[in-house]
Amino acid sequence: MTQANFPAFRPRRRRNSSGLLALTRETRLSVDQLVYPLFIRPKDTFRKEIGSMPGQFQLGYADAEKLVAEAVKLGVRSFLLFGIPDHKDAEGSFAWDTEGVIPTILRRLRHSFGSEILLITDECFCEYTSHGHCGIIQNEGGRVILDNDKTLSNLAKQCVVHAQAGADIVAPSGMLDGMVTGIRSGLDLAGLEHIPILSYSAKYASAFYGPFRDAAESPPQFGDRTSYQMDPANRLEALTEVAQDIAQGADFVMVKPALAYLDIIREVKNASTVPVAAYNVSGEYAMLKAAAQNGWIDEKRAILETLGSIHRAGADILITYHALEAAPWIKNA
Ligand code: PBG
């Protein structure tokens, strides 16, 4: 050492105690940011663990109410609802049935919990169509192309029915062009101008949705979703999608999946003036659970590091299957 003060700056000085670490921590998770997805079946009592998502369940109405009560005790009060209907058809018409699975659970949860909870509905048709695609199919054979504009009017109907049944936020996930405009005008015409839209703006055609398709029983029966979901190789396209959605009046935008797309979350955050959500999807959950169950990683640390990275990348809102297990850890951090 030639100089008494070499090196002048020692970043490690700020890591010398847990007090210093806590004082200088740049990002913090809060339970308020978490959204917990629920898979609902049109039955009263029903609870079945999803094989590829250990710790996650398909739930009947009464069992969902019980789980929501537990979540509220943990401080988690935002939920994203997926329905698994008993009937499917080519258009997915049970999606806008006022007595369908989602309107029913919305009314029940609203009745039991009032404004203590926030209910977000996934607005898509893949759970409701016999072919498992996210709208009306335009062609027969070959590459699957959705009839964008015909599907849009069904989407607006679905959102209106859900908002009337008690949804606080509608979240379209089908990657249709013009979906925010279509839904906004549908809601406004129905006197639902106070209902915000959380658009799945940049949703990639991802392998990480595998376990979800088990959970929601919505795998495509043929073809894939690459003609409507985004190519994982693209970055600028995500910014275009987000800009379009904001221009159409989206109140929140989303990037999905989260972990393979942390760069996109950051760029979307930098480019957006509305809150940004990220969806920590089923495959991301399944990988972590599988490694933890094998004793290959420290589960608690891995979960907190994962959620922390999504927040640090720029997500204000975290949709995650880890919400319930992580809530006490976050609260007591
Ligand atoms: C479509 C939808 C999907 C997910 C959320 N909404 C599946 C898909 O696009 O195939 C995936 C969520 C997850 O993997 O956790 N309704």
157 is catalytic: no
With a 6 A CB cut-off, is 282 part of the ligand 1 pocket? yes
Whether 200 is in the pocket of ligand 1, judged by its Cβ within 6 Å, is no
pTM above 0.95, yes or no: yes
Residue type, position 328, single letter: P
Closest Cα to atom 10 of ligand 1 = 209
Dist. CA 188 → ligand 1 center (Å): 27
Cα distance between residue 205 and residue 224, in whole Å: 8
Q: Whose CA is nearest to atom 2 of ligand 1?
A: 173
Q: Whose CA is nearest to atom 14 of ligand 1?
A: 209
Ligand 1, residue 211: give the atom nearest the CA.
Answer: 14
Q: Is the CB of 281 under 6 A from ligand 1?
A: yes
Fold of 27-331: TIM Barrel (3.20.20)
Q: From the candidates 88, 150, 157, 203, give the one annotated as an active-site residue.
A: 203
Per-residue pLDDT of the chain in tens (333 residues, 90 and over written 9): 567 788 989 999 999 999 999 999 999 999 999 999 999 999 999 999 999 999 999 999 999 999 999 999 999 999 999 999 999 999 999 999 999 999 999 999 999 999 999 999 999 999 999 999 999 999 877 889 999 999 999 999 999 999 999 999 999 999 999 999 999 999 999 999 999 999 999 999 999 999 998 899 889 999 999 999 999 999 999 999 999 999 999 999 999 999 999 999 999 999 999 999 999 999 999 999 999 999 999 999 999 999 999 999 999 999 999 999 999 999 877
- Is the CB of residue 277 below 6 angstroms from any atom belonging to ligand 1? no
Residue nearest to atom 16 of ligand 1 (CA): 124
Distance 40 CA to ligand 1 centre (A): 14
Q: Catalytic annotation on 203?
A: yes
